[in-house]
Structure 1
Amino acid sequence: MMRKSFLFVFLFFAHYFLIYGQDTLATVTAEKGDGIYSLLRKHGVNPYEYYHEFIDINMDNLRDSLHLLEGRTYIIPKVELDTVPVVDSIQKQAKKVKEIASKTYDIFGEDHKTVLSKSERLKGAIYYLVSGHGGPDPGAMAVYKGKSISEDEYAYDITLRLAKELLAHGAMVYIIIRDENDGIREERILEMDRDEVAYPDKVIPLNQLDRLQQRVDIVNDLYKQNKGAYQRLIVTHVDSRSEGQNIDVFFYHHEKSQNGKRLAESIHKTFEAKYRQYQPNRNYSGTFEDRTSLFLVKKTHPAMTFIEIGNIRNEKDQRRILDPDNRQALAKWISEGVILDFEER
């Protein structure tokens, strides 16, 4: 009896210290170049699951409610493991983490290819994601620290991150512009290339009108194949204006599409709420409006929204576009607006 009591006490304290004994290691100092995602990753915490919790508990220590400050100390969220003891041997007390459903998609790159299931909130929904330009057309361009940067690379990275978020919530996703070599990238300067293709592996034409028509044809053909299902199109671009013009994320939709308007409005409402939460001293001036003159807005069949992320030539907007943490936040916020739209349909 005494031996059983000792075993119970041993297992209880082993469990306690494995789960809660990391309190003394729960603070870290941000180093130069650290972002929230990279910091959480370095300390064994899934950044996609604990990003917002990290922000909530470190709000007073973040610049613009989103950025780490070098030399500051931050609290790492406590990861609560769902565990069961393995009773082979007391000396090798082991823990088995509850398995989470996952799938792998090579297009996200080696470090990001595993998509963990978060929910089935988008089950039955189909999304077509089109990132602007690509192939022979880099889109809007600028120079950052002496290096050329282009719209297509950043729109594509945000689109991949959005695709991963939507898949994690049970949606079916078609990535229309594709680069099998890039994947989701964590660098600020994304190297330019011209090897993007259109779904599934079509060469992107040199002529602008042909490029746009190719995307329209691909989306409309898929729309017909999936007739009867809930289908939406999201197009992502980066704008180019004068260097002094700082803009917020804004959205377009077809003037006659109530579903498209609602999708754009749902994402817009989400961005307004996020700005109130994380940047309460800054007004969000992004808009949603009809812009049927845009080729993809006018010609594609699914209800859709066309998103402009920012001005690639403006220094403030460049921080939004170049910082990988910001690109992830943009994708996350868009996905939350998409979920809002789907659940309120």
Structure 2
Amino acid sequence: MKHKYSRLLLLILLFLPIALWAQEKAYPKNGEGIELFLKRFNRTGSYYQKEFIRLNKSKLGKNNMLITGVKYTIPPLKENEQPVKSEPASKRRKGYEPLFGKNLASYNVESNELKGACFYLVSGHGGPDPGAIGKMGNHELHEDEYAYDIILRIARNLMIRGAKVHIIIQDSKDGIRNDMYLKNSKRETCMGKAIPLNQVSRLKQRCAKINQLNKTDKETYKRALFIHVDSRSRSKQTDVYFYNTGSKASRKLTNTMKSVFQRKYAHHQPGRGFRGTVSKRDLYVLRNTTPVAAFIELGNIQNKYDQQRIVLSNNRQALANWISEAFVIDYKNYKK
């Protein structure tokens, strides 16, 4: 009888769900959001994101941001769903971009979902021109510094997904920074060339560099992105808004970006709504850039609520993650 119960207990244990034995846990990599973190463990889709939040709610930062150094519980795979084999870490392609800064210069190419895509990323102003300047307490917020930090974060996201990326405006010292108040400098160059103070000359220079690179890049999917921070009256609060050239591909890209932002706002700030807009604008850089282009204004650098969108590093990373996700969707639709 004793052996009979032992055998019965063993059978019960054998058929218990694996999640009852041990739940898989892991630390996030620097810059990862929930979606990219789960993708490393072959958990994709809204089901796993909701489960992850349910399991880890007490460990998440503002707007469900992942916190570096915190170990998170990974949702178990659905019943009958088999894990997809991924390449061992030793076989993953490695990349190195010193512009990201000492701690983030090295990265692993985690996927090939953007293989065959090429991006030209441009942060507004730079060099002798800081762009719009906002005030927060005793601190000045310089447009070019915050636009540049977000561009670097987007570039790293895209490279991790296997894309070719040209960072057009560069600073040899400033990497990706987590400070609230980013110090201003005049070191920025247009890929090594001094940036002119004259506005038209400055815009001509970056468009010429993009068009020059475009001639030699062999990829068929090429997208240029320009990022700025607007300046309006202090009382004017705005959401992120998007400009396109009016071409079908440019409209499609900016509408995809808006859709991603609407979905993210509905998830992270339910009930608030997203009021960002998409429109055609006859801007110099959009008109004179050969690849399909989009232009993004991240908000009003004078408004105290919009300022939170750029001074908090988690928010800068979220902006980069959402824009990167829109590029992934646009590329997948392009390949269909």
- TM-score band, normalised by shorter chain: 0.7 to 0.9
> Using a 3 Å threshold, how does the CA distance of structure 1 residues 66 and 49 change in structure 2: closer, same or farther?
closer
Secondary structure at the counterpart of residue 63 of structure 2 = coil
Give the Cα–Cα distance (whole angstroms) in 1 for the partners of residues 109 and 65 of structure 2.
27
Equivalent residue for 1:279, pick from 246, 269, 279: 269
The reply on whether 1:78 has 2:73 as its aligned counterpart is yes
Indicate the RMSD between aligned Cα atoms, in angstroms. 2.7
> Using a 3 Å threshold, how does the CA distance of structure 1 residues 75 and 264 change in structure 2: closer, same or farther?
same
Post-superposition CA distance 1:230-263 (Å, at most 9, x none): 21101000111111111111100002x1111111
Percent pairwise identity: 40
Q: Tell me, yes or no, if the aligned pair for 2:154 and 2:324 is still in contact at 8 Å.
A: yes
> Using a 3 Å threshold, how does the CA distance of structure 1 residues 46 and 62 change in structure 2: closer, same or farther?
closer
Q: TM-score, normalised by structure 2?
A: 0.78
The reply on whether 1:205 has 2:196 as its aligned counterpart is yes
> Using a 3 Å threshold, how does the CA distance of structure 1 residues 275 and 136 change in structure 2: closer, same or farther?
same
> Using a 3 Å threshold, how does the CA distance of structure 1 residues 270 and 259 change in structure 2: closer, same or farther?
same
Q: Tell me, yes or no, if the aligned pair for 1:141 and 1:312 is still in contact at 8 Å.
A: yes
Partner of 1:91: none
> Using a 3 Å threshold, how does the CA distance of structure 1 residues 61 and 113 change in structure 2: closer, same or farther?
closer
Give the Cα–Cα distance (whole angstroms) in 2 for the partners of residues 56 and 179 of structure 1.
40
Partner of 1:65: 63
Give the Cα–Cα distance (whole angstroms) in 1 for the partners of residues 182 and 94 of structure 2.
28
Q: Tell me, yes or no, if the aligned pair for 2:118 and 2:219 is still in contact at 8 Å.
A: no
**Aligned residue identity for 1:122:** L
Partner of 1:261: 251
Partner of 1:236: 227
The reply on whether 1:190 has 2:156 as its aligned counterpart is no
Partner of 2:79: none
Partner of 2:332: 343
> Using a 3 Å threshold, how does the CA distance of structure 1 residues 176 and 98 change in structure 2: closer, same or farther?
closer
Unaligned runs of 5+ in 1: 1-19, 27-42, 81-96
**Aligned residue identity for 1:242:** S
Give the Cα–Cα distance (whole angstroms) in 1 for the partners of residues 32 and 177 of structure 2.
18
> Using a 3 Å threshold, how does the CA distance of structure 1 residues 267 and 209 change in structure 2: closer, same or farther?
same
Q: TM-score, normalised by structure 1?
A: 0.76
The reply on whether 1:126 has 2:118 as its aligned counterpart is yes
Deviation at 1:48, TM superposition (A): 3.7
Give the Cα–Cα distance (whole angstroms) in 2 for the partners of residues 144 and 286 of structure 1.
23
**Aligned residue identity for 1:321:** I
The reply on whether 1:102 has 2:91 as its aligned counterpart is no
Partner of 1:299: 288
Give the Cα–Cα distance (whole angstroms) in 2 for the partners of residues 303 and 68 of structure 1.
33
> Using a 3 Å threshold, how does the CA distance of structure 1 residues 254 and 68 change in structure 2: closer, same or farther?
closer
Equivalent residue for 1:153, pick from 145, 154, 163: 145
Unaligned runs of 5+ in 2: 1-20, 39-51, 76-87
Partner of 2:317: 328
Give the Cα–Cα distance (whole angstroms) in 1 for the partners of residues 33 and 140 of structure 2.
33
Deviation at 1:102, TM superposition (A): 2.2
Secondary structure at the counterpart of residue 135 of structure 2 = strand
> Using a 3 Å threshold, how does the CA distance of structure 1 residues 333 and 197 change in structure 2: closer, same or farther?
same
Count of aligned pairs between the two proteins: 285
Secondary structure at the counterpart of residue 293 of structure 2 = strand
Secondary structure at the counterpart of residue 228 of structure 2 = strand
Give the Cα–Cα distance (whole angstroms) in 2 for the partners of residues 57 and 295 of structure 1.
48
Partner of 1:36: none
Q: Tell me, yes or no, if the aligned pair for 1:58 and 1:75 is still in contact at 8 Å.
A: no
